[in-house]
Structure 1
Amino acid sequence: MAPKVLISDKLSDAAVQIFKDRGIDVDFKPDLGKDKVELLKVIGDYDGLAIRSATKATEKIIANATNLKVIGRAGIGTDNIDKDAASKAGIIVMNTPFGNMITTAEHAIAMMFAVARQIPEASESTHAGKWEKSKFMGVELTGKTLGVIGAGNIGGIVCDRARGLKMKVIAYDPFLSQEKADKMGVEKVELEELLPRADFLTLHVPKTEQTANMITAERIAMMKKGARIINCARGGLVDEEALAEALKSGHIAGAAFDVFAVEPATDSPLFNLPNVVVTPHLGAATMEAQENVALQVAEQMADYLLTGAVANALNMPSVTAEEAKVMGPWIELSGHLGNFIGQMTDEPVQAINILYDGEASEMNLNALTCAVIAGIMKKVNPDVNMVSAPVIAKERGVQVSTTKQDKSGAFEGYIKVTVVTEKRERSVAGTVFSDGKPRFIQIKGINIDAEIGANMVYTTNEDVPGIIGALGQTMGENNVNIANFTLGRKEAKGEAIALLYVDEPVPAPALKALENTGLFTQVKPLSFDVK
């Protein structure tokens, strides 16, 4: 029997035809997604569900989707899909992360032109029958310095377009290598150098703990007088209140925003200020982009339903069902190893070297490697998955190498990940015990035996008395319960490390208190997605 797919949102006729041409039975009901009751009734009849943003694939819907194998989102955002519920039900969640890159980049360029020449205000004035030619004095883009924060897929296109406009392009991106920057024709700089040099500042990063509110009042003050800020990435990257004050004072000459901290944005500190261009999250709103993502999701879903091929899956590795049974814990370990190094590394990653020993070397190394890379990249791109991670790493100039070796130690198999940056190398190793639980077995060449928890604290110190007491007392004083405690050292009186597995995220005052003891050279909170 042919697979059956429901399209419950508005997709193009061409996307519907792709399913039909591939021999898939498709029901195109573009308004059904808005009717939760009716969707709940019929969802159990389908193998695939193709949606945009109107359909909400909730836990309740997924519970009724007894035959569903794949949900395809035509677009990037998957907030309307309960991915945890889908994963538990064995349903693959796919998106199309690369379908709207050009459209979003072009919108950023258009917004930059609009704010440089005050086009919206001049248009409104002229429509009103005024002829205020002298009022709207703009600036040229040619010869100006464009500061780009985030030089990945979309940011990279913006850099290319800006160079075509004869702008001087400088870029800040923790994962941008010097080699990649040279190929792009941009100057790689730190954020503190970029801000005071930029005539125009444009952001192209996801919203994470590291990037949320990254353009603060203090950083706005670092910018040159008369600079202009463009944000077509994510709301909440810029302190809107602080920017509004800088616009009112004249320190910032203009701003162009397509995204806002709260959406739909019916009110914002930026509204009704002079030379502020605002649009209602139109970055991906072109006919071409909407068509591209619709066609892509149809092809991806058809490939999976007919051949088992997986592309751009957010919750499944690229492995067969047989492999998954054995590899599941090792894939989880690979992600944890990458995530550990990703959270510990602030400099651009130049190379990732992975050693597979013994039992691990006999598995699907492509899947394990993808899991490692995805773990490393997760810090700067929380939407990264095992399919997109290698592409992103390649685009950023990161060299990935793998080595296999026969069983060489006390463990039946292990994985060791080493990351190379301009300043240092950092390594971590782990294995899977017979109980199926991943564990860290070595950090920085120091042997340990650490269970991996959702919330952890990593410290480094000189091997001296008082370390255990300081850790225990500080955690106790801050009402943080220690579930597990692991110590390791290279030699007596030498470098030592500690890993604390705690029941909840450690509050900032506790971390500060540890630093203030003077006993630790590093105190780092860590978090892991533990199943």
Structure 2
Amino acid sequence: MAPKVLISDKLSPAAVQIFKDRGVDADFLPEVGKDKEKLLELIGQYDGLAIRSATKVTEKIIAAADRLKVIGRAGIGVDNVDIPKATARGIIVMNTPFGNAITTAEHAISMMMSVARQIPAADASTQAGKWEKSRFMGRELTGKTLGLIGCGNIGSIVADRAIGLKMRVIAYDPFLTPERALALGVEKVALDELLSRSDFITLHTPLTDKTRNVISADAIAKMKRGAFLINCARGGLADEAAVRVALDEGKLAGAAFDVFVEEPAKDNVLFGAPNFVSTPHLGASTSEAQENVALQVAEQMCDYLLDGAVRNALNMPSISAEEAPKLAPFVRLAEQLGSFAGQLTETGIEGIRLEYAGAIAEMNVQALTAAAITGLLTPLLQTVNMVSAPTLAKERGIRIEETRREKQGAYETYMRLTVITERQERSVAGTVFADGKPRIIQVKGINMEAELGPHMLYITNEDKPGFIGHLGMELGSSGVNIATFHLGRIAPGEDAICLVEVDGEVPDEVMARLRAVSHVKQVQALKF
């Protein structure tokens, strides 16, 4: 029986035809995505669901999707899909990460020009029969400094266009290396420097715990008086109430937003503010971009449903059916090593060195390298996957080195990941035991054996008596239960590492007390 796909949002006719031409039974019902009850009623009949942003694939929808194997999002953002619940049910979630980058970048430039010259307000005034030439005094872009918060796929295109407009471009992006910045013609700076120097600031970063409200009241206070703010990335990157206050007080000369915390934005604190320009999430809305992402998602879903091939999956590695059983635990190992290093890396990454020894060296190391890069980039980018990770690393000028060798040392096979930053090199090694579970076997040259759980504490300290007892007492008195405890050290009295699995998140005040211990060098909460 042919696979059956529901298209619940507006997709181009050419994309619908791709499904039909390849023998997939596709129902094009573009209004269903707005009707939660109707979607809930129908979803159990389908193997695939093709969506844009209107359809909300909630836990309730996923629970009713008895046949569903794949969700395909035409576009990059997957805020409207409950990925953990989809993963738990074995449903692959795909997106099309590179189809609308140019369109979104062009919209950001358009918004910057519109707010700099007050075009929307001037248009409304002129069409109302007024001729308020003196009211709408604008600002030139030439010679001004544009600050990019985020200089990845879209940000780098904005930089190129802004340089063409004779602007100076500076960028804050933890993953941007000096070499990549030089190639783009931008200057890499710290966030505070970007805030204080920029005449215009535009946001091009995903919404994560680290980037939420990156433009806060405190950040605005550090900006130039009369600066402009543009957000065509994600609602929540800027504190909307703080931006409103800054516009009312004249601290900001203008702001232009395409995205909002609550969408659709029918009522927002920013509406009616002085020189505020808004659009209804149009960043990817050009006919070219809509066509590109629609065709891509149709092809990807057909490839999976008909041939089992996985591309641009956010919750599953790209591995063929034949090699999956053997490779899967090593893919998990690679992701964990990458995530371990990524969560501990706070400066720009210049390179990644991967060493494969023993049996693992004979495997599909391309998939393993992609998995390691995915783990490394996920803490900041979140929606990165095994297909997009190598491209995203390349965009950021991150060098990838691979080495294969025969068995060395005590383990039959292992892989070591070394992250090279502007300041240091940090390595972590691991292997897979007979039980199929990944294990950490070495961190920064210190031998230890640890299985990674959902919540871990990573602590580096001087090897002094009483530390383990102090740590146990601190966690125990705060109601934090220790699941596993792993130790390693260079030599007695020298640097030591402690990896502790705990049964939940450690409160901030406990973390602060642990960091305050005199011989503790670093305390970091890790999630896997």
Q: 1:193 to 1:38 in 2, by over 3 A?
A: closer
One-letter amino acid matched to 2:15: A
C-alpha distance 425-274 of structure 1, shift in aligned 2 (>3 A): same
Q: How does 1:57-456 map to 2 (within 5 A)?
A: 57-59=57-59, 61-62=61-62, 65-456=65-456
Moved more, 236-245 or 39-48: 39-48
**CA deviation after TM superposition for structure 1 residue 74, in Å:** 1.2
C-alpha change, 1:262 and 1:68, in structure 2 (3 Å) is: closer
Conserved 8 A contact 2:258-2:278:
yes
Shift of residue 439 of structure 1? 1.7
Equivalent pair of 1:378/1:384 in contact (CA under 8 Å): yes
Q: Does 1:25 find its partner at 2:25?
A: yes
Q: Deviations over 1:79-134 (max 9, x none)?
A: 33343343344332211111221121111111111110111221222222221111
SS at match of 1:317: coil
8 Å contact kept, 2:309–2:320: no
- Residue type at the aligned position of 1:430: G
Q: Give TM-score, length-normalised by structure 1.
A: 0.95
Task: Summarize the Cα distance change of 1:343–1:44 in structure 2 as closer, same or farther, 3 Å threshold.
Answer: same
Q: Find the residue that maps to 2:447 and give its secondary structure.
A: strand
Is the Cα contact below 8 Å between 2:8 and 2:32 reproduced in 1? yes
In structure 1, what is the Cα distance between the partners aligned to 2:212 and 2:37?
Answer: 37
1:289-335 Cα offsets, whole Å, 9 max, x none, are: 22221111112122233333322111221112232222222211111
- Is the CA contact 1:196–1:224 (under 8 Å) kept in the aligned structure 2? yes
Question: What amino acid sits opposite 2:72 in the alignment?
Answer: G
- Inter-partner Cα distance in structure 1 for 2:79 and 2:321: 27
Structure 1 53/219 Cα, relative in aligned 2: closer, same or farther at 3 Å? closer
Q: Which runs of 5+ in 2 are unaligned?
A: none
SS of alignment partner, residue 328 of structure 2: helix
Taking the aligned partners of 1:248 and 1:433, their CA distance within structure 2 comes to: 61
Question: How far apart are residue 229 of structure 1 and its match?
Answer: 0.9
Structure 1 match to 2:526: 526
- The 8 Å contact of residues 455 and 502 in structure 2, kept in 1 or not, is answered as yes
Q: CA deviation at 1:355?
A: 1.0
Between the aligned partners of 2:249 and 2:418, the Cα distance in structure 1 is 49
Q: 1 CA distance for matches of 2:471 and 2:74?
A: 48
Identity of aligned residues (%): 63
2:486 matched residue in structure 1: 486
State the Cα distance separating 1:386 from its structure 2 match: 0.9
State which drifts further: 29-38 or 418-427.
29-38
Write the distance in 2 (CA, Å) between the matches of 1:236 and 1:214. Answer: 9
Amino acid at match of 1:296: Q
- Residues 128 and 40 of structure 1: CA distance in aligned 2, closer, same or farther (over 3 Å): closer
CA distance in 1, matches of 2:522, 2:60: 45
**What is the alpha-carbon distance in structure 2 between the residues aligned to residue 279 and residue 8 of structure 1?**
24
The change in CA–CA distance for 1:34 and 1:120 in structure 2 (over 3 A counts) is closer
Secondary structure at the aligned position of 1:269 is classed as coil
Contact 2:335 2:371 in 1 (8 A): yes
Residue 13 (structure 1) aligns with:
13
Alpha-carbon deviation of 1:135? 1.1
**In 2: Cα distance, 1:329 partner to 1:103 partner:** 39
CA distance in 2 between counterparts of 1:263 and 1:60 reads 20
Report if the CA contact (8 A) 1:470-1:514 is conserved. Answer: no
Whole-Å separation in 1 of the counterparts to 2:466 and 2:412: 36
Residues 308 and 321, structure 2, Cα contact 8 Å, conserved in 1: no
| CA–CA distance in structure 2, aligned partners of residues 428 and 21 of structure 1 | 48
Amino acid at match of 2:273: L
3-state secondary structure, aligned to 1:181: helix
CA shift for structure 1 position 446: 0.3
Cα RMSD after superposing both structures: 1.9
Distance, in Å, in 2 between the alignment partners of 1:40 and 1:230 is 37
Looking at structure 2, the residues matched to 188 and 514 of structure 1 have their Cα atoms a distance apart, in angstroms, of 33
Size of the alignment, in residue pairs?
A: 528
1:485-528 deviations in whole A, cap 9, x for unaligned? 11110011111111111111111100110122212011111111
1:35 deviation in Å? Answer: 5.0
Q: CA deviation at 1:381?
A: 0.2
Cα offsets for 1:361-398 (capped at 9, x unmatched): 23221111111000100121011111110110111111
Structure 2 CA distance for aligned equivalents of residues 262 and 83 of structure 1: 20
Structure 1 residues not aligned, in runs of 5+: none
Answer whether contact 1:146 1:169 (CA < 8 A) is retained.
yes
TM-score (structure 2 length as normaliser) = 0.95
Q: 1:111 to 1:41 in 2, by over 3 A?
A: closer
